[in-house]
Structure 1
Amino acid sequence: MNFYFRVFKKFRETCPELVPKRMIGNEPMTVKVPLEHMEKLPELKENPFRKRICEVFSRDGKGHLTFEDFLDLLSVFSEQAPRDIKVFYAFKIYDFDGDRFIGLSDLEQAARLLTRNELAAEEITQIAEKVIEEADVDGDGKLSYMEFEHVILRAPDFLGTFHIRI
């Protein structure tokens, strides 16, 4: 079975009552699977960033994915995706407030997700402050895309875990 049909089958399985057996016309761009169904995908359900990933890839920004959105998500998370694309989307995922910088609150939110809220608030803040101290080259208290990219390129394991298999 070719990739496109495997992906469509997986997309349809997330919510068969909403996704027709065959999509025609503009349905691949208009039929949406709600976030709560997407989060249950085996490939996402253990990922602490599953909600954020769906939000970033959804055209509506709320995590409800069309088939086109789903294809984009899988393309970026494929092992064959270029490193630059993976870094770009990783930055978007970590930029929770959408201000095009990764600030203290973004890092705190990421740390809470990564540690599954098992650390005290002070520990989370210390982690976030340490990341900024180490990576903030221009001293503005937040990470630009270039600063984030520099950190990621020094941590090849980070992008090695940035994939989903269908």
Structure 2
Amino acid sequence: MGNTSSMLTQYDIEEVQQHCNHTFSQQETVSLYQRFCQLDRNGCGFVPAEEFLSVPEFAVNPLSQRLLRMVDGLNFKEFVAFLSAFSPRAPLQHKIEFIFKVYDSDGNGKVTFSDMLDVLHDLTGQFVSEQQRKQVLTRVLEEAGYSKDSFLVLSDFVKILGNSDLKMEVEVPVD
């Protein structure tokens, strides 16, 4: 699997599926491999972040810059693991962990008011003022039992989102 010009073997497919807790079928894994090879233009086995910007859905995502930090230099197994959070078969816990990583951009295991404000800014752009974002975020945190001085950790995200009907899904086209 190191060189993307090589064929994907049954062993490779099973290894990737096991690594990703079978969130993708064999057909989906093969389709993802084909897409990975298209993104790995130089055939080195890794996809640089800027190649993801060639995917229109990725490029227009308001969180694309945050996501780019998460995808830079992924090999195929890591690529599928990244995308597995968007599988309809992914457990809610996996989706929440993914969302936490988006907010925890410095990877310190804590999400601050400022981190949340930055994500909210990315999502709303110039359509919502900074003051409005702060007010909304303060109110949401207070309703969840936190203050703007709180540091949220993964277990807080699980507590807040654990009973939600979280929809984070993309369809993997299969040939």
CA distance in 2, matches of 1:138, 1:120: 20
Counterparts of 1:28-67 in structure 2, within 5 Å, are 31-56=45-70, 58=71, 63-67=72-76
Equivalent residue for 1:83, pick from 83, 89, 92: 92
Residues 90-137 of structure 1: per-residue CA shift (max 9 Å, x gap): 111111232212211111111011113322221222222223222245
Residues 17-66 of structure 1: per-residue CA shift (max 9 Å, x gap): x12xxxxxxx6xxx22221111332342332222323423x4xxxx2322
Unaligned runs of 5+ in 1: 20-26
Once superposed, which parts of structure 1, at least 4 consecutive aligned residues long, lie more than 3 Å away?
A: 136-140
Q: Which residue of 1 aligns with 2:79?
A: 70
Equivalent residue for 2:114, pick from 100, 105, 110: 105
Pairing 1:149–2:158 present: yes
- Aligned-residue offset at 1:154: 4.1
CA RMSD of aligned residues (A): 2.4
Asked whether the equivalents of residues 39 and 45 of structure 1 are also in contact (C-alpha less than 8 Å), the reply is yes
Unaligned runs of 5+ in 2: 1-25
The structure whose RCO (Cα within 8 Å, separation 6+) is larger is 2
The amino acid across from 2:96 in the alignment is V
Asked whether the equivalents of residues 86 and 169 of structure 2 are also in contact (C-alpha less than 8 Å), the reply is yes
Counterparts of 1:110-121 in structure 2, within 5 Å, are 110-121=119-130
CA distance in 2, matches of 1:99, 1:117: 28
- Aligned-residue offset at 1:163: 2.0
CA distance in 2, matches of 1:44, 1:139: 31
Equivalent residue for 2:141, pick from 129, 132, 141: 132
- Aligned-residue offset at 1:68: 2.0
Q: Which residue of 1 aligns with 2:20?
A: none
Number of residue equivalences: 147
> Which secondary structure state, in structure 2, belongs to the residue aligned with residue 32 of structure 1?
coil
CA distance in 2, matches of 1:72, 1:55: 15
CA distance in 1, matches of 2:134, 2:171: 34
CA distance in 1, matches of 2:28, 2:161: 29
Q: Which residue of 2 aligns with 1:3?
A: 28
- Seen in structure 2, the aligned counterparts of structure 1 residues 108 and 53 have a Cα distance that, compared at 3 Å, is same
